[in-house]
Amino acid sequence: MATANGKTPPKGTKAELAEIDTLMKKAVDLHRKEHLDAAVGIYRKVLEKKPGFIPAIGMLGTALGQMHQFDASVKLLKQRCNRFASACKTWQGKRPRRLCV
């Protein structure tokens, strides 16, 4: 997604993170309104920009489950759980424990 000046922001910049945040908000809004195809497309776009992004993996898995694509859904949700558990080990002592349930 291009910024106001028409250029794609460099990876890891504040602009890129803001773009991912905007995309996730749009996808979640569409998901809540049950526009699942559109939401799935945006979740996938987020994962292209930021592979391994735990919230996008989980939401994509949830949306695919709602669309009865159970094999893909289960695969993504397991991946999300594994990545979250791994992140919790990394955050040990750095983040509040309630994040690492």
Count CB atoms within 10 A of the CB of residue 69. Answer: 16
The whole-angstrom distance between residue 33's C-alpha and the CA centroid of its chain comes to 18
| DSSP single-letter state for residue 52 | T
The whole-angstrom distance between residue 85's C-alpha and the CA centroid of its chain comes to 16
Number of residues in the chain: 101
pTM over 0.85: no
Over the chain (101 residues), the average pLDDT of each successive run of 10 is 55 86 98 98 96 94 96 93 75 51 40
pLDDT score for 89: 66
Domains in the chain (CATH in brackets) are 14-99 (1.25.40.10)
